[in-house]
Amino acid sequence: MKTLFQRIIDGEIPAKIEHEDEQCIVIHDIDPQAPVHLLVIPKRLITRVEQAIAEDQDLLGHLLLTASQQAAKLSLDGGFRIVINNGKDGGESVPHLHVHLLGGRAMSWPPG
Protein backbone atom coordinates (compact mmCIF):
# COMPACT_ATOMS: atom_id res chain seq x y z
CA MET A 1 0.00 0.00 0.00
CA LYS A 2 1.35 3.42 -0.96
CA THR A 3 2.01 6.07 1.64
CA LEU A 4 0.22 9.41 1.44
CA PHE A 5 3.44 10.96 0.14
CA GLN A 6 3.89 8.30 -2.54
CA ARG A 7 0.37 9.08 -3.74
CA ILE A 8 1.24 12.81 -3.87
CA ILE A 9 4.48 12.07 -5.75
CA ASP A 10 2.52 9.90 -8.23
CA GLY A 11 -0.01 12.72 -8.77
CA GLU A 12 -2.91 10.78 -7.26
CA ILE A 13 -3.47 13.38 -4.53
CA PRO A 14 -3.09 17.11 -5.21
CA ALA A 15 -0.57 19.18 -3.29
CA LYS A 16 0.85 22.67 -3.47
CA ILE A 17 4.27 21.92 -4.90
CA GLU A 18 7.07 24.40 -4.21
CA HIS A 19 9.89 22.44 -5.86
CA GLU A 20 10.50 19.11 -7.57
CA ASP A 21 13.60 17.39 -8.91
CA GLU A 22 14.64 13.82 -9.68
CA GLN A 23 15.22 12.93 -6.03
CA CYS A 24 12.58 14.81 -4.05
CA ILE A 25 9.47 16.90 -3.98
CA VAL A 26 8.81 19.92 -1.73
CA ILE A 27 5.21 20.63 -0.77
CA HIS A 28 3.38 22.96 1.59
CA ASP A 29 2.18 21.27 4.79
CA ILE A 30 -1.63 21.11 4.95
CA ASP A 31 -1.50 21.91 8.70
CA PRO A 32 1.24 24.55 8.91
CA GLN A 33 2.88 25.16 12.27
CA ALA A 34 4.66 28.33 11.13
CA PRO A 35 4.14 30.96 8.40
CA VAL A 36 6.45 28.82 6.24
CA HIS A 37 6.03 25.07 6.67
CA LEU A 38 7.31 22.95 3.81
CA LEU A 39 7.89 19.21 3.60
CA VAL A 40 10.92 17.94 1.69
CA ILE A 41 10.07 14.37 0.70
CA PRO A 42 12.34 11.86 -1.02
CA LYS A 43 10.79 10.18 -4.03
CA ARG A 44 12.41 6.92 -3.00
CA LEU A 45 10.71 5.52 0.08
CA ILE A 46 12.72 5.48 3.28
CA THR A 47 10.24 4.65 6.02
CA ARG A 48 12.02 6.60 8.77
CA VAL A 49 15.48 7.96 9.46
CA GLU A 50 16.34 5.06 11.79
CA GLN A 51 15.89 2.70 8.83
CA ALA A 52 18.18 4.65 6.50
CA ILE A 53 21.24 2.76 5.32
CA ALA A 54 24.67 3.86 4.09
CA GLU A 55 23.43 3.91 0.48
CA ASP A 56 20.89 6.60 1.49
CA GLN A 57 23.61 9.07 2.49
CA ASP A 58 23.58 11.09 -0.74
CA LEU A 59 19.78 11.28 -0.77
CA LEU A 60 19.65 12.39 2.87
CA GLY A 61 22.21 15.10 2.14
CA HIS A 62 20.19 16.19 -0.88
CA LEU A 63 17.09 16.60 1.30
CA LEU A 64 18.92 18.91 3.71
CA LEU A 65 20.50 20.95 0.93
CA THR A 66 17.12 21.28 -0.78
CA ALA A 67 15.58 22.50 2.48
CA SER A 68 18.34 25.09 2.82
CA GLN A 69 17.86 26.23 -0.78
CA GLN A 70 14.13 26.62 -0.20
CA ALA A 71 14.81 28.65 2.96
CA ALA A 72 17.05 30.97 0.93
CA LYS A 73 14.47 31.21 -1.85
CA LEU A 74 11.83 32.22 0.70
CA SER A 75 14.16 34.75 2.37
CA LEU A 76 14.22 33.05 5.76
CA ASP A 77 17.35 35.06 6.54
CA GLY A 78 16.51 35.39 10.25
CA GLY A 79 16.65 31.62 10.66
CA PHE A 80 14.59 28.50 10.24
CA ARG A 81 14.13 25.09 11.80
CA ILE A 82 14.56 21.68 10.19
CA VAL A 83 12.76 18.75 11.84
CA ILE A 84 12.72 15.03 11.08
CA ASN A 85 10.26 13.03 13.16
CA ASN A 86 11.06 9.37 13.86
CA GLY A 87 8.52 6.93 15.31
CA LYS A 88 5.27 7.51 17.16
CA ASP A 89 6.85 9.20 20.18
CA GLY A 90 8.88 11.41 17.83
CA GLY A 91 5.69 12.76 16.23
CA GLU A 92 5.85 10.70 13.02
CA SER A 93 2.44 10.60 11.36
CA VAL A 94 3.34 9.33 7.88
CA PRO A 95 5.69 6.33 7.52
CA HIS A 96 7.74 8.01 4.79
CA LEU A 97 10.78 10.00 5.90
CA HIS A 98 10.41 13.73 5.27
CA VAL A 99 12.07 16.94 6.38
CA HIS A 100 9.97 19.75 7.85
CA LEU A 101 11.22 23.24 7.01
CA LEU A 102 9.68 25.79 9.38
CA GLY A 103 10.28 29.53 9.37
CA GLY A 104 8.84 32.99 9.19
CA ARG A 105 8.67 33.40 12.98
CA ALA A 106 10.92 32.96 16.00
CA MET A 107 11.07 29.37 17.19
CA SER A 108 10.89 28.51 20.87
CA TRP A 109 12.86 25.92 22.77
CA PRO A 110 12.24 23.20 23.72
CA PRO A 111 10.28 22.48 20.56
CA GLY A 112 7.58 20.24 21.98
CB count in 10 Å sphere of residue 5:
22
- Using the CB atoms, write b or e for 19-57: b if 16+ within 10 Å: eeeeebbbbebeeeebebbbbbbbeeebebbeebeeebe
Q: Is 62 a catalytic residue?
A: no
Among residues 37, 96, 98, 100, which one is catalytic?
98
DSSP state of 86: -
Active site residues: 98
